[in-house]
């Protein structure tokens, strides 16, 4: 989608109408990201979206279109959630380590989207972020590194570890569900 | 150790919802905060030419009903004679190129005064660019203001004939700026 007309109109008028057009075009996807970032804490997700738009409106005139608008907005959102989590719990949950056996290709567990959402909610914020950005939203490591101010290698490494832990949670979840 | 997602995992990731409609009041809260921080202006701050035109025409309406046409009542009070009823529906698409707001304001005002001076009573209003379309399944499709074709205003008028109503439509400044006007005659059974 070409977002320039929406942005140009907003910057030209600074009107409520132009803002709501922009808001409605972009927020449903960003809100879904915010819900996942907050492990489905709806109140916090709404706060993140509100803070994100306030910052975006302040900075939009300086946006240079070196990325898609959605990438830029997602970057603001991600960093707001990151700042909060840094304050609360530190990064990347170093305590999350892989302890189980790996599931080989031919013995993959069957899991649903609900199982996956639940497992992602259990990830540490840092792991969850990289899985959301890469495996759900489809950003490349280069883009993720730019958003999170990391180098690409760190992004790849985080994703590697995040997937391992995620699979562990999926197996645990499955075991729990299949226990008598 | 497996590093890449398996096909099965990719499939499940691919099925995750990509969008979630936020609560309706979130938009309102954000808009209110942006307004209070003076980061946006409210919709009524800059009037659309049609609103201006309707506002400007108040004086013309007064003149109309107190001047040569004293004794007649307004459409709002009396309603219109269905046998002489027409609706003008204003549409815009990417061909619509609005001009200078002040100039448009004056043009619309002059147009309305001119029309009413010919004994044609009318009312009208601007419509928001966006729309919500409800279908038989109770599904609501939202068309935002960037939709290709928009209905942006209407007028209801009393005219002697379809030809007169068409003439009123042809003379409306909306045409000059690239808009189109649909002229609909009242159905009388």
At B69-120, the pLDDT tens digits run: 333 334 554 567 888 999 999 998 888 888 777 777 778 778 887 888 788 8
- C-alpha distances in Å from residue A164, one per residue of A112, B157, B169: 17, 70, 68
pTM confidence score: 0.57
Any CB–CB contact under 8 A between A86 and chain B? no
> According to the model, what pLDDT value does residue B103 have?
77
Tell me whether strands B85-92 and B122-126 are parallel, antiparallel or unpaired: unpaired
Task: List the strands of the sheet with B180-185, edge to edge.
Answer: B122-126, B150-158, B85-92, B180-185
Any CB–CB contact under 8 A between B175 and chain A? no
DSSP string, B139-152: -EEEE-TT-SSEEE
State the complex-level ipTM: 0.83
pLDDT over 80 (residue A175): no
Any CB–CB contact under 8 A between B16 and chain A? yes
Which of A18-22, A38-42, B59-63, B120-124 bottoms out in mean pLDDT, i.e. has the lowest?
B59-63
pLDDT over 90 (residue B29): yes
Cβ pair A111:B34 closer than 8 A: no
pLDDT over 50 (residue A140): yes
Cβ pair B39:A58 closer than 8 A: yes
Tell me whether strands B140-143 and B131-134 are parallel, antiparallel or unpaired: antiparallel
Contacts of A35 in chain B (CB under 8 A): 20
* Mean model confidence pLDDT for chain A: 84
A62: left (phi over 0), alpha (psi -120 to 50) or beta: alpha
Q: How confident is residue B61, by pLDDT bands cut at 50, 70 and 90? A: very low
DSSP string, A120-145: HHHS-HHHHHHHIIIIIS---HHHHH
Residues A55-112 pLDDT 10s: 999 999 999 998 999 999 999 999 999 876 555 544 444 445 444 444 444 455 678 8
CA pair distance A89, A170, nearest whole angstrom: 23
Helices (H), chain A: 4-13, 16-37, 42-59, 69-89, 113-122, 125-131, 141-148, 152-178
Cβ pair A113:B16 closer than 8 A: yes
Contacts of A160 in chain B (CB under 8 A): 3
Query: Contact at 8 Å (CB) between B155 and B123?
Result: yes
Tell me the average pLDDT across B123-142: 84
Give kind and range of the element (H or E) at residue B31: helix B24-36
CA pair distance A102, A98, nearest whole angstrom: 9
Between A123 and B105, where is the model more confident? A123
Cβ pair B31:A29 closer than 8 A: no
Cβ pair B41:A15 closer than 8 A: yes
pLDDT over 60 (residue B183): yes
Please enumerate in sequence order all residues whose Cβ is within 8 A of that of A124, keeping only pairs 6 or more positions apart, or say none.
A89, A92, A93, A96, A165
Six-digit token pair at A8?
A: 């140009």
pLDDT over 70 (residue B56): no
Instruction: Name the residue among A25, A17, A18, A129 with its Cα closest to residue A68.
Output: A25
pLDDT over 80 (residue B176): yes
CA B153 to chain centre: 3
Please report the number of interchain residue pairs, chain A to chain B, with beta-carbon separation below 8 angstroms: 110
> According to the model, what pLDDT value does residue B70 have?
31
Measure B127 CA to nearest chain A CA, in Å. 13
Any CB–CB contact under 8 A between B14 and chain A? no
> According to the model, what pLDDT value does residue B65 have?
35
Measure B118 CA to nearest chain A CA, in Å. 36
Measure B36 CA to nearest chain A CA, in Å. 11
pLDDT over 50 (residue A151): yes
Cβ pair B12:A116 closer than 8 A: yes
Which residue in B2, B26, B34 is closest to A46 by CB distance?
A: B26
Contacts of B43 in chain A (CB under 8 A): 15-17
Any CB–CB contact under 8 A between B11 and chain A? no
Cβ pair A28:B46 closer than 8 A: no
pLDDT over 90 (residue B177): no
> According to the model, what pLDDT value does residue A100 have?
42
Which residue in B26, B34, B144 is closest to A49 by CB distance?
A: B26
Instruction: Name the residue among A30, A82, A84, A22 with its Cα closest to residue A57.
Output: A22
Contacts of B9 in chain A (CB under 8 A): 108
Any CB–CB contact under 8 A between B25 and chain A? no
Q: How confident is residue A118, by pLDDT bands cut at 50, 70 and 90? A: very high
Percent of chain A with pLDDT over 70: 81
């Amino acid at each position: 989608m070409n977002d320039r007309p929406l942005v140009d109109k907003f910057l030209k008028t600074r009107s409520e109408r132009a803002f709501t057009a922009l808001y409605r075009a972009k927020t449903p996807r960003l809100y879904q990201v915010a819900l996942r970032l907050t492990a489905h804490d709806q109140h916090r997700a709404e706060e993140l979206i509100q803070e994100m738009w306030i910052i975006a409106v302040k900075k939009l005139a300086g946006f240079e279109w070196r990325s898609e608008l959605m990438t830029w907005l997602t970057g603001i959102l991600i960093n707001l959630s990151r700042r909060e989590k840094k304050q609360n719990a530190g990064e990347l949950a170093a305590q999350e380590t892989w302890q189980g056996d790996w599931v080989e290709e031919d013995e993959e567990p069957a899991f649903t989207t609900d199982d996956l959402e639940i497992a992602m909610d259990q990830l540490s914020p840092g792991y969850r972020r990289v899985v959301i950005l890469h495996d759900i939203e489809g950003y490349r490591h280069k883009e993720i590194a730019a958003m999170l101010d990391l180098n690409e290698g760190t992004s790849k490494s985080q994703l590697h570890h995040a997937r391992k832990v995620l699979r562990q949670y999926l197996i645990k979840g499955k075991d729990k569900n299949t226990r008598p | 150790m497996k590093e890449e997602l398996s096909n099965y995992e990719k499939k499940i990731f691919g099925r995750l919802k990509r969008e979630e409609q936020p609560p309706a009041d979130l938009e309102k809260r954000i808009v209110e905060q942006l307004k209070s921080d003076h980061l946006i202006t409210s919709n009524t701050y800059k009037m659309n030419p049609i609103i201006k035109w309707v506002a400007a025409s108040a004086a013309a309406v007064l003149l109309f009903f107190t001047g040569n046409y004293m004794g007649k009542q307004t459409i709002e009070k009396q309603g219109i004679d269905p046998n002489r009823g027409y609706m003008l529906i204003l549409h815009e698409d990417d061909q619509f190129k609005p001009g200078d707001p002040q100039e448009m304001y004056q043009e619309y005002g002059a147009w309305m005064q001119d029309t009413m001076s010919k004994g044609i009573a009318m009312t009208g209003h601007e419509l928001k660019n966006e729309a919500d379309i409800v279908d038989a399944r109770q599904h609501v499709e939202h068309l935002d203001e960037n939709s290709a074709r928009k209905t942006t205003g209407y007028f209801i008028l009393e005219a002697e004939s379809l030809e007169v109503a068409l003439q009123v439509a042809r003379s409306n400044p909306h045409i000059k700026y690239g808009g189109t006007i649909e002229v609909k005659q009242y159905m009388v059974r």
